[in-house]
Amino acid sequence: MNVKIFCPQCGKTGVKLFSGLCRSCFIEKTCLINIPEEIDIIICTHCGSIQKKGRWMDSGLSLEDIVIETIYEYVEIDDSASDVAISVKILTIRGSIFECLVNVKAHVMDEILIQEFLVEVKVNKSVCTVCSKFSSGYYEAVIQMRADSRLISDDEIGTADKIVRDKIERLSNKNRMAYISQRVEMKEGIDYYVGSYKAARKLTETLRNVFGGVLKDSPRLMGRDKTKGKDLYRIWFSLRLPQFQKYDFVKYNNVKTQVLNFDANKIYLKALDSSATISVAWRDYEKLKLIARKDDIKLAMVTAKTPQLIQILHPDTYQPVDIELNDELRHLHIGDELKVVEIDNILYVI
Ligand SMILES: [Zn+2]
Ligand SMILES: [Zn+2]
């Protein structure tokens, strides 16, 4: 039996068929891309983030670019097309409706095809979950900065503000809940209300690296999330800065020392009589007692020197005081000035 092959579209016979059509009918019938005629976008009026598949995402793009990018995301290229070049142009904007033209150029069976598609993009305005939480003052944690037995200084508040600003900016790139919903400054210190618990914890660590201090965190039950059946907690990070500052003098285990430095973990001390260095963990903070401030350091003049001693004038009474020579003092000459501090009627050379 002789079967006659023909194209049902144009009736040509004796031709090779592609998906049931002759070559030219197949090419003619090919639609290069699949794209909806209407697309809806939901955009946050506050931060410009867009909702995609139920999730809010940062865009950082202009509205026009968001429209164009969304169209590209919806394009599905036909399997028969290769070397596809697509360009999207906004033709008109009427209110929230963007009428766009999609131009497609591609190869189908070694022929170049150019096709155009009209797409209408509707931009719906809304408020994203983060912005609605932010505007309602939502927060998950509070960082409370206070100082032990003193008021926090303006310098400390200025430094803390800068740390919080810089760190929040960096954290917010990855965590949209990393925002400060409230900053409350009061006589005894400062409170930062933070959108995200995780961000608050990182912020507290950064503050502690600079200020040291004793950290306590305590959850407070704020209510219950009925939809999730979970208790809602907020965390208070309470950071208490030390009474002393760098270069002040503290007594530790009856050793008089000067505070050289501190970080998030430890306080670094130098003993006044032996020059030995000692490090103390913050959990032992209560064992430190402030005995003099760095402002109590004074200058005293060397008035005599023997192989065993130097003599200096007391900075207040101008009475001569003998001090045993050690390696640190050996290079001194009569007339030189020394830094000293008086604690319990004893002069220590710093
Ligand atoms: Zn045909
Ligand atoms: Zn938003």
Identify the domain boundary among 77, 105, 129.
129
Tell me, in angstroms, the distance from the centre of ligand 1 to residue 4's CA: 14
Domain with residue 305: its CATH number is: 2.40.50
Q: Compute how many other C-beta atoms are within 10 angstroms of the C-beta atom of residue 38.
A: 9
Closest listed ligand to the CA of 51: 2
> Residue 3: pLDDT band by 50, 70, 90 thresholds?
low
Q: Which of 229-233, 235-239, 285-289 has the lowest mean pLDDT?
A: 229-233
Closest listed ligand to the CA of 179: 2
Count structural domains, the chain. Answer: 5
Q: pLDDT tens for residues 243-295?
A: 999 999 999 999 999 999 999 999 999 999 888 999 999 999 999 999 999 99
Tell me, in angstroms, the distance from the centre of ligand 1 to residue 82's CA: 22
Identify the domain boundary among 104, 129, 154.
129
Clarify whether residues 214 and 195 are in a common domain. yes
* Confidence (pLDDT) at 2: 58
Tell me, in angstroms, the distance from the centre of ligand 2 to residue 196's CA: 15
Q: What are phi and psi of 13, to 5 degrees?
A: -115, 165
Closest listed ligand to the CA of 128: 2
HSE-CB for 225 with a 13 A CA cutoff: 8
Percentage of the chain beyond pLDDT 90 is 69
Tell me, in angstroms, the distance from the centre of ligand 1 to residue 32's CA: 18
> Residue 57: pLDDT band by 50, 70, 90 thresholds?
confident
Q: pLDDT tens for residues 9-43?
A: 999 988 888 888 999 999 989 999 999 999 999 99
Interatomic CA distance for residues 118 and 103, integer angstroms: 9
Determine the Cα angle at 202 with ends 199 and 207, to 5°: 120
* Residue 312 contacts residue 338 (beta carbons within 8 Å): yes
Q: Which helix (H) or strand (E) holds 142?
A: strand 141-147
Q: pLDDT tens for residues 101-127?
A: 999 999 999 899 999 999 999 999 999
Clarify whether residues 125 and 148 are in a common domain. no
61: containing domain = 36-129
Identify the domain boundary among 129, 149, 173.
129
Clarify whether residues 173 and 212 are in a common domain. yes
- Residue identified by tokens 């000035």 is 337
Q: Indicate whether 222 pLDDT > 90.
A: no
Closest listed ligand to the CA of 11: 1
Q: Indicate whether 329 pLDDT > 90.
A: no
Clarify whether residues 236 and 276 are in a common domain. no
DSSP code of residue 232: E
* Residue 127 contacts residue 135 (beta carbons within 8 Å): yes
Percentage of the chain beyond pLDDT 70 is 99
Clarify whether residues 95 and 168 are in a common domain. no
111 token code pair: 């022929």
* Residue 35 contacts residue 55 (beta carbons within 8 Å): no
Clarify whether residues 155 and 207 are in a common domain. yes
Tell me, in angstroms, the distance from the centre of ligand 1 to residue 211's CA: 81
Clarify whether residues 236 and 141 are in a common domain. yes
Tell me, in angstroms, the distance from the centre of ligand 2 to residue 235's CA: 24
Task: Write out the DSSP string of 57-80.
Answer: E---S-HHHHHHHHHHHH-EE-TT
Angle in degrees, 0-180, between the axes of helices 197-211 and 154-171, rounded to the nearest 10: 140
223 conformational bin, left if phi > 0, alpha if psi -120 to 50, beta if neither: left
Q: Indicate whether 161 pLDDT > 90.
A: yes
DSSP code of residue 162: H
Clarify whether residues 146 and 190 are in a common domain. yes
Supply the pTM of this predicted model.
0.69
